[in-house]
């Protein structure tokens, strides 16, 4: 306390003063709680990919990749798939669809030199996603996996929808057949 304040006799705090203090404390803790919630909900960087059909095909759609802590959520909506069929779905190494058949994206994105496998296993290509399951409306939604800023970042990579299901075994492709749709994954400002 400052010496000047000590010169005056100490006055008991009025009830009104104490109520004000309590209200201030309450408001402060409410603000801290809100800030905490926002931190919990905060989304990290986002990327998006506009899937365009390759030559002679009609599959089209959008995929978004959103960072949540050390995980990435992938949400894909693809139309023009055959009802009831599964389609292999991967991030590929190169963000280049110029060849027209998807082959210019090269192989599965594999920064850590792993084998091809199911997205639910630890030892797999970073780019291995669960197959898209076409509903009768030709849509598929995938909530998964893999990608972050750094060596395994998907930004600038390719995204491919295949004609066939991924068998999650055949190396290094999953034997998912031709490439129906192709995209370059781009960072979204957020």
The residues of the shown chain that bind Cu ion, judged by CB under 5 A, are 90, 160
Rg of the Cα atoms in the chain: 26
Q: Which among 35-43, 77-85, 116-124, 175-183 is the span making contact with Zn ion, rule CB under 5 A?
A: 116-124
Nearer to Zn ion, 45 or 177 (CB): 177
User: Which range binds Zn ion by CB under 5 A, 3-11, 51-59, 118-126, 146-154?
Assistant: 118-126
- In the bound state with Zn ion, the residue whose beta carbon lies nearer, of 60 and 92, is 92
Q: Which is nearer to Cu ion, 90 or 157 (CB)?
A: 90
Residue 146 to residue 73: CA distance in whole angstroms: 8
- Element spanning 38, H or E: helix 15-41
Match 């192709």 to its residue by tokens: 182
125 binds Zn ion (CB under 5 A): yes
* Closer residue to Cu ion in complex, CB, 45/118: 118
Look at the chain and count its residues.
190
157 is in the binding site of which of Zn ion, Cu ion, none (Cβ under 5 to 8 A by kind)?
Answer: none
From 156, 189, 154, 170, select the one nearest 117 (Cα to Cα): 170
The answer to whether the beta carbons of residues 151 and 131 sit under 8 Å apart is no
Span 145-174, contacts to Zn ion by CB under 5 A? none
CA distance 143 to 13: 57
Q: Which of Zn ion, Cu ion, none lies near 160, with the C-beta cut-off 5 to 8 A by kind?
A: Cu ion
What minimum distance in Å lies between the beta carbon of 176 and Cu ion?
6
Distance between alpha carbon 64 and the CA centroid of its chain, in Å? 6
Which of Cu ion, Zn ion, none does residue 87 bind to, with CB < 5 to 8 Å depending on kind? none
Q: ω before 172 within 30° of 0 (cis)?
A: yes
Residues that bind Zn ion (CB under 5 A): 108, 116, 125, 128
């Amino acid at each position: 306390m400052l010496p000047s304040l000590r010169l005056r006799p100490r006055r008991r705090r009025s009830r009104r003063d104490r109520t004000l203090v309590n209200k201030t404390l309450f408001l402060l803790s409410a603000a801290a709680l809100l800030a905490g919630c926002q931190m919990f909900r905060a989304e990290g960087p986002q990327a998006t990919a506009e899937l365009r059909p390759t030559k002679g095909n009609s599959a089209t759609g959008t995929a978004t990749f959103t960072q949540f802590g050390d995980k990435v959520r992938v949400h894909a909506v693809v139309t023009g798939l055959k009802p009831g069929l599964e389609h292999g779905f991967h991030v590929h190494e190169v963000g280049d669809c110029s060849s027209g058949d998807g082959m210019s994206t090269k192989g599965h994105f594999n920064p850590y030199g792993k084998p091809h496998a199911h997205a639910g296993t630890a030892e797999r290509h970073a780019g291995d996603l669960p197959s898209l399951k076409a509903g009768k409306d030709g849509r598929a939604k995938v909530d998964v996996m893999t990608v972050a800023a750094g060596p395994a970042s998907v930004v600038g990579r390719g995204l491919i929808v295949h004609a066939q299901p991924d068998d999650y075994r055949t190396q290094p492709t999953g034997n998912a057949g031709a490439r129906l749709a192709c995209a370059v994954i781009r960072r979204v400002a957020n």
